[in-house]
Structure 1
């Protein structure tokens, strides 16, 4: 499973496909205080990125993937304008 809840943190593992966006949204709605752990994430479908952008949750652990770490996480960490 690529999206799962683990002790109050939503973990995204491996390649997160478009199908994971709905699961992620349901978990985030059910767990309003959960942070996001991307440490094991290697790829994010744009639909998953959009859910993360809308949720504006803190990133508990950044991904090891350089593109996600250097380009996607900074956008997720920005304050809404």
Structure 2
């Protein structure tokens, strides 16, 4: 599973696909003060980006992937 949900932390690993969008949205609604760890994420489907933007939660661990770091994190940081 590309996103592992552990208590208050969602760990994104590898290529995170559209199939993860609904579970992520449900988890974000159910958890108080969620922690988002994108450190291991290598690809993020736009549906997941939309969920993250709508949730407005800060990313605790930014992705190491150069594209995500350079293009996606600036968008997620402007909330």
Same fold (TM over 0.5): yes
The two structures, once aligned, show a CA RMSD in angstroms of 1.0
1:27 CA drift (Å): 0.9
Which position in structure 2 is the counterpart of 1:53? 53
- Which consecutive aligned stretches of 4+ in structure 1 deviate over 4 angstroms post-superposition? none
Task: Tell whether the 8 Å contact from 1:16 to 1:45 is kept in structure 2 after alignment.
Answer: yes
Count of equivalent residues: 79
The residue that corresponds to 1:35 in the other structure is 35
Output the TM-score relative to the length of structure 2.
0.92
Residues in 2 aligned to 1:51 and 1:13: alpha-carbon distance in whole angstroms: 17
TM-superposed CA distance for 1:16, in Å, is 0.7
Contact preservation (8 Å) 2:8, 2:32: no
- Structure 2 residue ranges without an equivalent (≥5): none
Shift of 1:77: 1.1
Between structures 1 and 2, the one with greater strand share: 2
Q: Which runs of 5+ in 1 are unaligned?
A: none
Q: After TM superposition, give the deviation of residue 17 of structure 1 in Å.
A: 0.7
**TM-score calculated relative to the size of structure 1:** 0.90
